[in-house]
Amino acid sequence: MDVQSSFQEYFKASPLITARAPGRVNLLGEHVDYNDGPVLPAAIDRTVYLAGAADAENTVTLYASDLDSSTKFRLDTLETKIDIHGDPLPGWALYPAGVAWSLQKEGLEVSGLKAVYTSDVPVGAGLSSSAAVEVVFAVTWGALRGWEIDSIRLAQLCQRAENEYVGVASGLMDQFASLHGVQDHALYFDTRDLSWEPVPLPKGTVLVIADSGVRRSLTSSAYNERRTACQQAVELLLTYNPEIHSLRDVSAVEFAAYGDFLPPVVRRRAEHVVKEIARVQSAVAALRSDNTRSFGALMFSGHASLRDLYEVSCPELDALVEIAREAPGCIGARLTGAGFGGCTVNLVEESSTAKFIETLMEGYYEQTGRETEVYLCRASAGASVEQVK
């Protein structure tokens, strides 16, 4: 995407830098982040692109080319969330403004900025378009002002922007993956101690993401109910093991022994989390030993658990997974993200990609009367910045 030309056209000047930050998909480890569990995302080659230059004024001028919308705000009035005319910032501008606010709060220098940005990360599909926007602005300000910061901390500052400034509750995985992506690799990320390592994805495979067309309706009440159930499980299981702090500390063997003492709904929620954490560990071992079929089976198992135990799937997502199971070249499939709509992620043999996508699209329309947007992706490198020559 030629953001340099867009910058030149909009600002009648040349940009100093270009930056990019990818979206992400989660391959395994769903609803375990708030239970201190490990996750297995991958940055994908769906990306936010930015062209920018410092502005001597203490202002930020933004042009979102996809929306054909612009705004301008001052860096000393960020708390008020208003533009230079005193009007509320448009929703899309809260993300870059929030990053500036969070960086300043950390004591990092943030300059005036002129920027144009565009994205091919689908909005609302659960591929972390908002985190990619946050990250691309964070690395842009770092490059313009010349400061360096630990990349995990930078991810946390972007997360703080989303949580505290925009007002959207999210974990750290999205910003982490956008910053730390490794080409052709998934990322094993431990949400408890924040350690991570790249894990190679099988050679000759691609990631196919299929949008159910059902916009996620994970209400705060449904989300909070599940978090509460997990906490109830921990409190009740302390009777049997006083050493546990979260469901991360409960092994599958222990849960088999103690799980029957939990109320039925709490038991189902906790069983998903305990087994999903074990699935992530098994998946990493499968990828490292090049056991592709085992990894695919774990994806299918993860979906069944989200459907039956955590109860966050929906008929459309289930249809996509079952159609994929019988489609040519499919290794594994599951819903990705919070659930109640959104997307599935499929690991597919590259040689069968065209036939797989055709089968999935036709089958989904036949079963549901809906069309699915399909995105062919590869695991990509994390965010980067370049000086314009």
SS (H, E, C) 83-145: CCCCCECCHHHHHHHHHHHHHHHCCCCCCEEEEEEEECCCCCCCCCHHHHHHHHHHHHHHHHH
Query: Would the pTM of this model clear 0.85, i.e. be above it?
Result: yes
Residues known to be catalytic:
174
What backbone phi and psi angles, to 5 degrees, belong to 77? -125, 25
Q: What is the pLDDT of residues 236-269, one digit of tens each?
A: 999 999 999 999 999 999 999 999 999 999 999 9
Q: Tokens for 38?
A: 């490990």
What percent of the chain shows pLDDT beyond 90? 90
Domain spanning 3-201+380-387, CATH class: alpha beta
The full set of domain ranges for the chain reads 3-201+380-387
Positive or negative, the CA dihedral 198, 203, 204, 205 is: negative
Q: How confident is the model at residue 314 (pLDDT cuts 50, 70, 90)?
A: very high
d(CA 89, CA 383): 26
Asked whether residue 218 carries a pLDDT value surpassing 60, the answer given is no
Q: What mean pLDDT do residues 347-366 have?
A: 98
What backbone phi and psi angles, to 5 degrees, belong to 259? -60, -30
Asked whether residue 138 carries a pLDDT value surpassing 70, the answer given is yes
**How long, in residues, is the chain?**
389
User: 270 near 255, Cβ under 8 Å?
Assistant: yes
Q: What is the pLDDT of residues 143-163, one digit of tens each?
A: 999 999 999 999 999 999 999
Element (H, E) at 25: strand 17-28
Say whether 150 sits in a helix, a strand or coil.
Answer: coil
Q: What is the pLDDT of residues 22-77, one digit of tens each?
A: 999 999 999 999 999 999 999 999 999 999 999 989 999 999 999 999 999 999 99
Residue 248's closest CA among 192, 304, 195?
192
Largest CA distance in the chain: 69
**Per-residue pLDDT, 144:** 96
Say whether 354 sits in a helix, a strand or coil.
Answer: helix
Asked whether residue 371 carries a pLDDT value surpassing 70, the answer given is yes
Asked whether residue 221 carries a pLDDT value surpassing 90, the answer given is no
